[in-house]
A and B are shown apart, each in its own frame.
Chain A
């Protein structure tokens, strides 16, 4: 069994899906902000011929995927938790219980963006590990600490 000195029990599928949905909302918001930034740049560049950008689905998907990968990488490599994980009280650690390095955080982020359905394996897995956890030897644990508004840790 891996060292879980920093970790609580491994989180279940419902909590992790909820966190992922919140993170999806965050990425969509980032996408909207990116659209506004592009529109502003275009207006500043040529106000006369300005028209709202109308990205194709492929463009939106591509930009969204890149933004999501960047967001997840930075979040996991620094605090070990995204916004969704922070709300749901989760933290992503290595199987030894250590914070993820940038390399492993990048790989996990890209893997999650390309194959999000890998998360569902956590429901089937006896040790609640997603495909990404199995491949990259990571774990998602309950961690209610480091919350400014939350005191007393887990119930």
Chain B
């Protein structure tokens, strides 16, 4: 963390701290000869004491020192752990790690360094797929709703049906049809019988022959009537008669 004054009060405190540190360093340097002498004296004294101390006492003391040091190390380690935990928690609380990473870490470079292929190669996709219950997933899908959202008209409008039909070979389609089997299933005789039953043949014959007879007879009668008139005219002239002849055909008769 880069230090530095951020306000006037902070600046004063910072200056005082620097002065204090400078003074302490100076004192440490100045007292060097004293410290050296004191150290030599202490060492000589300790050597004398060690020399005077009986060996069993010395070993007992050594043992005691070792155990005490182990306990101290343990205590220090526990304290350190506690302190570090607290510090880290405080740091994490105080610092926006995401923002920190974003500002100082080149994520692109990190990503470029990752071998995704190797990572993917290590993934057992088959095992993943085996664990997925596709049936259950499909059962939850509302196909009706999906189909409702599809614009079938739009799709149909985009299809070029003419081109599709042009690609169809009717000959091959027809060649695959078993017409004999189809005909075998059709009751042709029954259909023919039904058709014949539906036709009133006697009525048709009666009507057609009746019409024919009617037309023929009518023609014969008309011709005979005209012949009657001609013959009557001839006899009128022969007998020098002057009779009024009805030129118009006779009116229909009441029955």
Binds A, one of B27-35, B118-126, B243-251: B243-251
Q: Return B237 CB to nearest CB of chain A, in Å.
A: 13
Q: Which of A15, A126, A146, A152 contacts B221 (CB 8 A)?
A: A15
Q: Which of A1-9, A66-74, A99-107 contacts B (4 or more CB under 8 A)?
A: A1-9
Q: Given A128-B232, A154-B249, A154-B251, are A142 and B225 neighbors across the interface (CB < 8 Å)?
A: yes
Interface size on A, residues (CB 8 A): 31
Name B214-241 residues within 8 Å CB distance of A. Answer: 214, 217-218, 220-222, 224-225, 227-229, 231-232, 235, 239, 241
**Which chain B residues border A128 with CB–CB below 8 Å?**
232
Chain A residues within CB distance 8 Å of chain B: 6-9, 11-15, 18, 87-89, 123-124, 126, 128, 142-155
Given A13-B228, A142-B225, A148-B210, CB of A87 within 8 Å of CB of B220: yes
In the bound complex, residues from chain A placing their C-beta under 8 Å from that of B211 are 149
Report the interface size for chain B: residues with CB under 8 A from the other chain. 28
State the 5 A-B residue pairs at the shortest beta-carbon distance, nearest first: A12-B228, A153-B252, A14-B227, A145-B255, A15-B224
B254 interface residue (CB < 8 Å to A): yes
> Given A124-B239, A142-B250: A15 and B214 within 8 A (CB)?
no
Among B210, B231, B239, B254, contact of A149 (Cβ-Cβ < 8 Å):
B210
Task: Give B117 Cβ to nearest chain A Cβ, in Å.
Answer: 101
Task: Report yes or no: A8 in contact with B250, Cβ–Cβ below 8 A.
Answer: yes
**Which one of B213, B218, B251 contacts A8 once the chains associate, using CB atoms below 8 Å?**
B251
